[in-house]
Structure 1
Amino acid sequence: MIRHCVFLNFKDDVTEGDKQKHYNQFAALKDIIPGQIADHYGPSASPEGMEHGFTDGFIMDFTDAAARDAYLAHPEHQKAGAALVEACKDGVSGILVFDLEIA
């Protein structure tokens, strides 16, 4: 299984409603692209204060690397990703992606 972790540093003018629209757009991909088995979205709940500006994020689980790769290449993911880049501070620099292989 692949756990796809995405951490976000949204622009200051992005509202909670705007954030939810982005999350909903990504969650809808679960019905379009096979292999996504779980997803979770929201603000950081860490008490450590070590987010370094990445205040929100989401995690998606995929059955395997092939499913994750198909998701990344899918045109609907590309569309949702482009909108997310526009909503983050400094574009792509406002997004951190980290994938873990889960045994």
Structure 2
Amino acid sequence: MISHCVFIRYRKDATDAMRDDIYKGLQALKPRIPGLASIVIGANSSPEGLDKGFSEGFIVTFRTAEARDRYLADEEHAKVGAKIVAAAEGGIEGILVYDLES
């Protein structure tokens, strides 16, 4: 299993509608990508105060690395990714991505 973790530091002018559009786009990827097991989306709820402004994020779980790679190469994923970059503070600088393998 691979957990693809993405955290976003949204621009101050990013609207709820922009966020909803991004998250709907992510959910629409699930039936497109064989091996995509789940998508969890939400706001930071940690009381530690270590979020460094990354207020929301999502974790996409894949059954295999191949499924993750199909997701990364998918044209609809690229469209959602472009919306995330456009809504993030500083563009790509406002996004943190890492994968955990278990």
Fold match (TM-score > 0.5) = yes
Aligned residue number for residue 46 of structure 2: 46
| Gaps in structure 2 of 5+ consecutive residues | none
| Alpha-carbon distance in 1 for matches of 2:41, 2:17 | 13
Shift of 1:16: 2.5
Deviation at 1:5, TM superposition (A): 0.4
- Within 5 A, what are the aligned runs for 1:12-91? 12-91=12-91
* CA RMSD of superposed structures (Å): 0.8
Residue number in structure 1 paired with 2:92: 92
TM-score (norm 1): 0.95
Q: CA deviation at 1:52?
A: 0.5
Q: Percent identity?
A: 47
User: Separation in 2 of the partners of 1:42 and 1:13?
Assistant: 19
d(CA) in 2 for partners of 1:4, 1:36: 11
1-side partners of 2:19 and 2:42: how far apart? 8
Counterparts of 2:15 and 2:49 in 1: how far apart (Å)? Answer: 21
- Per-residue CA deviation, residues 16-74 of structure 1 (Å, 9 max, x unaligned), is 23212211101110011111101111110100010011110000100111100110011
TM-score normalized by the length of structure 2: 0.96
State how far apart, in whole Å, the 2-side matches of 1:38 and 1:44 are. 18
Task: Show the counterpart of 1:9.
Answer: 9
